[in-house]
Chain A
Amino acid sequence: MRRAYFKNNWIAALMVTPQLIVVFTFFYFPASQAMYWAFTLEQPWGGGNTWVGLDNFRAILSDDLYWSSVWLSIVFALGSTALAVGMALILAIFVDRQLAGYKAYKIGMIWPYAIAAPAVGLAFRFIFSPGAGIMMFVNQVFPDLWNPVENGTQAMAMVILAGAWKQVAYNFIFFLAGLQSIPRSLIEAGAMDGARTLRRMRDIQLPLLAPTFFFVLVINITDSFTDSFGIIDTMTAGGPSRATNLMVYKIFNDGFQGLDYSGAAAQSIILMGLVIALTFVQFRYIERKVHYT
């Protein structure tokens, strides 16, 4: 690999400074603040914070509401990831098989990913609103069939769908690139060996897509823990009766609505730890996973 060296260190420093400032202001500074809050408690009548060690964490981990939010986050993560990965894989296979015009399609497909989560949430809130949009007609035919405002399971299904929809585009691009990087001659060899389309997909394309698959899987799960905030906030605000109160939303709720900074900070440290762990898995095991040559 070729590297560029700067003779003058000042220029180098000048060039990295903006990036460093951004990273510090928006990541390290808030993270250190969260650390500070997580291990301290504000005194009831003011007068600064006192060190409480792991008390905040103990309090959270013994809170049933917290564990329920963990469980809901897992349901959301698995649900939206499975849906997004599955849909993207099917779409990519279709596009890979008939390439005519796939470029335009590819560009069209990436748009949802470029839409901010709250905008996705708003759009889906309209689509799934029991009193407006498509679901209104469903409710007219089958009264009270659909009401995510009252039914927690339906609310969860709704946010999973919105989260998956947003993620599909991103996954699709990776899967398509992965499929197209499989040499055509391998597929042709499969055809000569007598394997039909589905058989070739199962025996040749999907196994060769495995590294891409795991990569996308981990990225999706990681994203679903953090990126779900915008969708929850606009669509359900964690309700009904906390049925969609995911970890990331509970942090916001406890911190900014309940003003329990220390509890929220401790929760965000745990969430950060989780994301770091997943990223580690990604680098450690998946990047190193056998790449066939």
Chain B
Amino acid sequence: MAQISIRNVRKSYAKQEVVHGVDLEVATGEFIVILGPSGCGKSTLLRMIAGLESVTSGDITIDNRVVNDLEPHQRGCAMVFQNYALYPHMTVAENIGYALKVAGLPKVDRLARVQAVATSVGLTEFLERRPGQLSGGQRQRVAMARAIIREPKVFLFDEPLSNLDAKLRVQMRHEIRRIHNHIHATSVFVTHDQQEGMTLADRLVVMNKGVIEQVGTPEEIYHRPASVYVGGFIGSPAMNFLSGQISAQDSAVVLANGAKIPLPVPLAAAHDGQFTQIGLRPEELALVPAGKGAFDAAFEFAEELGAARLYHFQFEDLMLTVLSADKPAVEKGKPMGIRIGAGAVHLFAADTGKRLSAKVGSRERELV
């Protein structure tokens, strides 16, 4: 169990900087998920914590000790790799026990610990097999066991579930959470799968292009995305974006075609005249007869999801998606009214992409 601080950490390969000054505090026992698209630098950040990659500038501390120049094993971190990285020439038991063997633990103690850990992840029957003779899920467990046995202060995961099929992935997700609740090691988990991130995280870190876009609980990030990027990245189906201008007089944001989406007075007042990107989540929109909603849009097609359906509309030159559980009568090309739920409007500055709130600066008093 340990607390991790990352202070203005940068990483360059040759002349190219790929991590541009990251600050992050991870509390003891916390489960942090770093979420971001491919190539955004999540693995690089994780590997810098692990000690597998040097830090170009900035500091990483674990329990208030700067670890920048420590060897990986001196940092008390264990890591689960994406491709598991099991030693192919060793049996499962040898794989799990390797760290203890290197540490010079006597064989009897080692076997006992291997046995105990193998039992906890359900691997007892496979101890004598080689990794090549295991299924993907079993290999995943071996990788977990190999990390657990070291009783690390910090658990690092680099997309450990991405090679598994959808069902197994969910199952292993639960397993990882269960193990975390049991041993409470500080965990940093990297993924590009937002569902995985949302479900596992105590706090979520959304990264993009080598910077952190937002840090918060999954709920905060879903309900109050700090930027257009986070809004669009988190949530499935993805958020709709429209452009408009805020009018304090109308207490609304006015779209290009004159339609008005009402806003709370303080929010509109704080940003009068500002050009804005309006984020609307498909699940917070509702379908009503034409003319009854905030604006009308022409129906294009629907997708069946089982419990609900996705309705796709043409609005101006954009596509708009609405998630609805009831079955309104729609017809291709015919307009439908789109109703916007109370408090469902996310406003972002058109130029910076940052979230607009009622009061800028100092302590935010968010009314939307």
Chain A residues within CB distance 8 Å of chain B: 183, 185-186, 188-196, 199, 203-204, 207-208, 292-293
Indicate if the CB atoms of B50 and A192 lie closer than 8 Å. Answer: yes
Within 8 A of A (CB), among B125-172: 130, 132, 146, 150
Q: Is the CB of B88 within 8 A of A293?
A: yes
CB pair A292 B130 closer than 8 Å: yes
Q: Which residue of chain B is the closest to A186 with respect to CB atoms? A: B85
Of chain B, the residue at the smallest CB distance from A199 is B102
**A-B contact number at CB 8 A:** 63
Question: Which among B78, B83, B130 is the interface contact of A183 at CB below 8 angstroms?
Answer: B83
Q: Known: A192-B73, A192-B78, A292-B89. Contact between A203 and B98, CB under 8 A?
A: yes
Contact A188 B85 (CB under 8 A): yes
Q: Are A189 and B81 in touch, CB under 8 angstroms?
A: yes
Task: Kindly state whether residue B79 has any CB partner on chain A within 8 Å.
Answer: yes
- Bound CA span A84–B112, Å: 44
Given contacts A183-B85, A193-B73, A292-B88, contact A188 B52 (CB under 8 A): yes
Residues in B with CB closer than 8 Å to A192 are: 50, 52, 72-73, 77-79, 99
Contacting residue for B87 out of A194, A196, A204, A293, CB 8 A: A204
Pair A189/B85 contact, Cβ less than 8 Å: yes
Nearest CB of chain B from residue A66's CB, rounded to whole Å = 43
Please tell me if B103 contacts chain A, counting CB pairs below 8 Å. yes
Expressed in whole angstroms, the minimum distance between the Cβ of B183 and any Cβ of chain A is 17
Within the complex, which residue of B71, B72, B78, B83 is in contact with A185, where a contact is CB–CB below 8 Å? Answer: B83
* Given A203-B98, A292-B132, A191 and B81 contact (CB-CB distance below 8 Å): no
User: What 11 new A-B contacts, CB under 8 Å, besides A196-B71, A204-B87?
Assistant: A185-B81, A188-B79, A189-B79, A189-B86, A192-B72, A192-B73, A194-B99, A195-B102, A292-B88, A292-B89, A292-B132
25 contacts between A and B (CB under 8 A): A185-B82, A185-B85, A186-B85, A188-B52, A188-B79, A189-B79, A189-B81, A189-B85, A189-B146, A190-B98, A191-B72, A191-B73, A192-B73, A192-B77, A192-B99, A193-B146, A194-B99, A195-B73, A195-B98, A195-B102, A196-B71, A203-B98, A204-B87, A208-B89, A293-B132
Q: B102 and A191: CB pair below 8 A?
A: no
Shortest beta-carbon distance, A100 to chain B, in Å?
A: 12
Residues on the B chain within 8 Å of A188, using CB? 52, 72, 79, 81, 85
**Complex formed: what's the CA distance from A193 to B141 in Å?**
17
Residues of A within 8 A of B102 (CB): 193-195, 199, 203
Q: Which residues of A contact B79 (CB under 8 A)?
A: 188-189, 192
What residues of chain B lie closer than 8 Å to A203, measured between beta carbons?
A: 87, 98, 102
Main secondary structure of the interface of A (DSSP, over half): helix
Q: Which residues of A have CB within 8 Å of B88?
A: 186, 208, 292-293
Residues of A within 8 A of B89 (CB): 207-208, 292
**Known interface pairs A185-B81, A204-B87; A193-B98 also in contact (CB < 8 Å):** yes
Per DSSP, are chain B's interface residues mostly helix, strand or loop, or mixed?
A: loop
Q: Which residues of A contact B103 (CB under 8 A)?
A: 194
Beta-carbon nearest neighbor of B132 in chain A: A293
Smallest CB separation, B151 vs chain A (Å): 13
Give the chain B neighbours of A199 by CB distance below 8 A.
102
What residue in chain B is nearest A210 (Cβ atoms)? B89
- What are the residues of chain A within 8 A of B85 when measuring CB–CB? 183, 185-186, 188-189
Within the complex, the shortest CB–CB distance from B101 to chain A, in Å, comes to 8
Interface residues of B in 115-129 (CB under 8 A from A): none
Name the A residues within 8 Å of B146 (CB-CB).
Answer: 189, 193
Most chain B CB inside 10 Å of its own CB: which residue of A186, A196, A204, A207: A186
How far does the alpha carbon of A186 sit from the alpha carbon of B71 in the complex, in Å?
Answer: 16
- Write out the residue numbers on chain A whose beta carbons fall within 8 Å of the beta carbon of B132: 292-293
Measured CA separation A190–B85 after assembly (Å):
9
With A and B bound together, what is the CA distance between A185 and B102 in angstroms? 18
CA distance A188 to B46 in the complex (A): 13
Q: Which residues from B are CB-within-8-Å of A191?
A: 51-52, 71-73
Residues of B within 8 A of A293 (CB): 88, 132
Residues of A within 8 A of B98 (CB): 190, 193, 195, 203
* Nearest 6 Cβ contacts at the A-B interface: A292-B88, A194-B73, A185-B85, A193-B99, A189-B85, A293-B132
Per the bound structure, the CA–CA distance linking A193 and B103 in Å amounts to: 9
Interface centre among A193, A208, A292 (most CB of B within 10 A): A193
CB distance from A290 to the nearest CB of B (A): 9
A204 partner residues in chain B, CB cutoff 8 A: 87
Q: Tell me the residues in window 50-87 of chain B with beta carbons closer than 8 Å to chain A beta carbons.
A: 50-52, 71-73, 77-79, 81-83, 85-87
Q: Which residue of A lies closest to B104 (CB)?
A: A194
* Distance, CA A78 to CA B21, complexed state (A): 58
**What is the CA–CA distance of A185 and B50 in the complex, to the nearest angstrom?**
13
**CB-contact partner of A189 in B51, B71, B87, B130, under 8 A:** B87
Most chain-B CB neighbours within 10 Å: which of A186, A194, A203? Answer: A194
Residues of A within 8 Å of B51, CB to CB, are 191
Assembly CA distance A191 to B52 (angstroms): 8
CA distance A183 to B50 in the complex (A): 18
Residues of chain B lying within 8 A (CB to CB) of residue A193: 73, 98-99, 102, 146, 150
Complex CA–CA separation, A193 to B142 (angstroms): 14
Residues of A within 8 A of B99 (CB): 192-194
> In the complex, A293→B81 CA distance in Å?
17
Instruction: Name the residue among A188, A196, A199, A293 with the largest chain B CB count within 10 angstroms.
Output: A188
Q: Collect the chain B residues with CB atoms within 8 Å of residue A189's CB.
A: 79, 81, 85-87, 146
A27 CB to nearest chain B CB (Å): 39
What distance in Å separates the Cβ of B236 from its nearest Cβ neighbour in chain A?
30
What is the minimal beta-carbon distance from B83 to any residue of chain A, in angstroms? 6
